[in-house]
Amino acid sequence: MVGDLRDVAAKAPLRRYETPGGKKMSVRMSAAGKVGWVTDRAGYRYDSLQPDGEAWPEIPIAMLDVWSTISGVDRAPDSCLVNFYGEGSKMGLHQDRDEVDLDWPVVSISLGDDALFRIGQVTRGGPTQSIWLNSGDVAVLSGAARLAYHGIDRIRFGSSSLLPDGGRINVTMRVAG
């Protein structure tokens, strides 16, 4: 999988996107599939082209195999987001709600360093639960949990030997359009 993701990153380089509010994200991102997720001052959205105008590469077969085994649906994903967490990277609580139809699941694969995953309610605020995700863990947000606020509080940088320079790769597949 890591080799497949390196191929994706060679065709769609990892970028530190800027939020609509002008803040640079600590996570570097790329994508594969029909559409990729992007953000800038214009907002959060899926786009059929990378910021440089190139098409996104195809979703690697290994990722599609995980989707077909775990997702519980017959439709293939049309987007595979690739997030790289380096030392000190995190992602605040957010909902995955930029997709057209929110009934499709989101399948997430963790590779590399351990990450403290936090999940809450479908409305902001209220109690949350945290769990350490290890390399090889797969999580699915579907049904009532599909719109739960979730995020990564921190990673244990250097806790895995999968990536020679450390860090965590999170792959999330979804039906975006």
Integer Rg of the chain from CA: 15
Residue 177's pLDDT band (cuts 50, 70, 90) = confident
Nearest to 10 by CA among 35, 34, 32, 39: 32
Residue 129 predicted with pLDDT over 90: yes
pTM for this predicted structure: 0.93
CA-CA distance, 172 to 159, in Å (whole number)? Answer: 21
DSSP code string of 7-41 = HHHHHS--B--B-TTSPBPSSEEEEEES-EEEEET
Two structure tokens written together for 63: 């990722």
Rounded Cα–Cα distance for residues 49 and 17 (Å): 15
How do residues 75-89 score in pLDDT, each as one tens digit?
999 999 999 999 999
* Residues spanned by the domain of 119: 2-174
- Burial string for 6-43 (b: 16+ CB within 10 Å, else e) reads eebbeebebbebeeeeeeebebbbbbbbbbbbbbeeee
What is the DSSP code string of 86-142? -TT--EEEE----SS-TTS-EEEEEEES-EEEEE--SSSSS--EEEEE-TT-EEEE-
CATH code where residue 70 lies: 2.60.120.590
CA–CA dist 105, 64 (Å, integer): 14
- Count how many domains the chain has: 1
Per the CB < 8 A criterion, the answer to whether 41 and 18 are in contact is: yes
Reply yes or no on whether the pLDDT at 144 is more than 90.
no
